[in-house]
Amino acid sequence: YALVLLDVHLPGISGYALSSWYKEYCCRTGRNAAVVIAITSDPDREMCHEFGIDRCFPKPLNHEAVCTMVSEWFEKDRCTAAMRSDS
């Protein structure tokens, strides 16, 4: 996967803990971690960063916000890949 949208207030488990576990798992197994974007009613950017979440957005999200968010990340990846291939 290239992108994971994660509600941080999941029933039975903290989305923060899940993100942290996922990033550590990817690191431990040599896998590339997908971009993790948290969706929460109370965004805390410092806490998101602490648990390996790449971006945090407030609820509710609308279609336009999701499309903009996804296109920003994929455009960022394309730009980074293009810069690597030029060097």
Give per-10-residue mean pLDDT for the chain (87 aa): 85 91 94 89 84 87 80 62 45
Give dist(CA 76, CA 74) in Å, integer. 5
| Environment class of 41 (CB within 10 Å of its CB; exposed 0-12, middle 13-18, buried 19+) | exposed
Tell me the one-letter amino acid at 17: A
> Model-level pTM?
0.71
The pLDDT value given to residue 82: 42
Give dist(CA 61, CA 84) in Å, integer. 33
The pLDDT value given to residue 24: 94
